[in-house]
Structure 1
Amino acid sequence: MHLPAIVDLLSILALGAALGFFGGLFGIGGGIIAIPFLALAFGMEQALAQGTSLAMMVPILLVGWWRYTRRHPIPWRAAIQIGLLASATTLVVAYVATGLNPNVLRTVFSVCLLVLALRMLAQRRTASPVDAHSRFNLKLMPLVGIVGGACMGLLGVGGGLVATPIFTGCFGQRQTVAQSLSLALVTPCSIVALATYGGARQVDWSIGLPLAIGGLFTVSLGVSLAHRLPERTMKTAFAWMILCTALWLLLKPILLK
């Protein structure tokens, strides 16, 4: 291999490692970061960047979910129902979303994330270190799959960002359990999406697979750190992550002109 090719490969592996770590820490796939990077660094069109990021996300999500469930067993019946509802909603909403303006959808989603993050940060001083009791019947948790699946269908990302605060705030789940349930929501949607993009030949496997390999080396480290950090610290970190994501989505069209 020529030196530039080796440097590119190492850069891809390093990016995958970073995304794998944060994916394990926050229970996300990292597509929000990977998609613009692939578009900028490799000149990919949006569809190809999304498909290639899915090739990275699916293995990271699977390993991350497995590690979370080993540390905190989750109600499997609810997790399966969440995943099925999310996948079905993603397919339906994605079909409808094809006729909508993606820039408007992204802006609305970004503002909602911004408000959610600011609300979480405003409550962090008054919130107790222990999760509050569930405000709703736990049997209603699978319905969160509809909300997360709608986000995935509209934008292809963001299902876990929305679902996790709902699991903690409305159903009283611990942060790490909520992130595990969010992974149950996002993972099947991502698998379906990857199969769709792959069938349409919108996946660059030569980049997606090294990203995945890099991420697999660090995802377990992120999961381990998530379970070692105090509950309040994890919630605060998750809120800041949502805030940064919202600001990035809002500013991206301006910065990338």
Structure 2
Amino acid sequence: MLDIAMYVVLGMAMGTLGGLFGIGGGLVTIPILGVLFNLDQQLAQGTALLMVLPNVLLALWRYNQRNRVALRNALMLIVPSFFLAWLTSLFAVRLDPQIMRVAFVGFLLVLVLFNLGQMYWQKAPGSTQLRHENRLWLLGSLSGITGGLFGVGGGVVATPLLTSLFGASQVVAQGLALALAAPSTGITLITYAVHDHVNWAMGIPLAVGGLLSISWGVHMAHALPERVLRSLFCAFLVVCGALLLFKVQA
């Protein structure tokens, strides 16, 4: 019973971060499950997906209430992401866990560099009207590949690219990223579960905790200045990368 309570509290912390950054909490949950609970990479990713899916759905509903997600743009992201997430997840569940962990650290390092670079690039203010809308399917494809491989993709990959290349505001980008993440997260979770890469006893309380707290994160995301939100997102990525790098070297 104590373990369940601990997982619920942990899920609440992860859900708050997921709502704040529009990522569902999976990015930070994966290294924590690997480092603190010694789960192998695929099991950590599958268990995190179980927590993330309901959180993503709730966060998407909350974001859509405040800033309605454009259906056409969302579909251009969702369709390629869904199919590529399914295909790449079939490949990911067969990889060596240590190779997966090293690849995940590399993935985080790339994200850190990209997001730090964003802080210093000169760019026009974000808008609800996107640039290059006809190329959104490329972003959906990239997010689907990373989502299938690493269990994260929608918010982590799509949010910074939507703000930098497509000119979206941070809040609009996070809403679209959540719409993108929901279907691909579902199919990836199914694939990991079929291959026994989900710890249900841990994942369900994590999901409950996340559902209890993710609305707080969404509320904070709309209250914080955009530059502060981006700075926190960069710091968040650095911490996640450091946690997994520690595990790889241990």
TM range (shorter): 0.7 to 0.9
Question: CA contact under 8 A between 2:139 and 2:158: conserved in structure 1?
Answer: yes
**Closer, same or farther: CA 63–135 of 1 in aligned 2, 3 Å:** closer
1:108 to 106, 109, 113: 106
Whichever residue aligns with residue 75 of structure 1, its letter is A
CA distance in structure 2 between the partners assigned to 1:232 and 1:43 by the alignment: 35
Q: Which has the larger radius of gyration?
A: 1
Greater Cα shift, 39-48 or 164-173: 39-48
1:200 to 192, 195, 207: 195
Matches within 5 A, 1:1-257: 5=1, 7-95=2-90, 98=94, 101-103=99-101, 105-123=103-121, 130-131=125-126, 136-254=131-249, 257=250
The structural deviation recorded for 1:149 is 1.2
CA distance in structure 1 between the partners assigned to 2:127 and 2:243 by the alignment: 31
Q: Secondary structure at the match of 1:122?
A: coil
CA distance in structure 2 between the partners assigned to 1:135 and 1:72 by the alignment: 14
The structural deviation recorded for 1:168 is 0.5
Question: CA contact under 8 A between 2:148 and 2:188: conserved in structure 1?
Answer: no
Percent identity reads 36
The structural deviation recorded for 1:35 is 2.6
The structural deviation recorded for 1:37 is 3.0
The structural deviation recorded for 1:201 is 3.6
TM-score by length of 2: 0.87
Greater Cα shift, 59-68 or 101-110: 101-110
Structure 2 residues without counterparts, runs of 5 or longer:
none
The CA RMSD over aligned residues, in Å, is 2.5
Aligned length: 247
The CA deviation string for residues 223-257 of structure 1, in whole angstroms up to 9 with x for no partner, is: 01111112222222223223333344444312xx1
TM-score by length of 1: 0.84
CA distance in structure 2 between the partners assigned to 1:205 and 1:133 by the alignment: 39
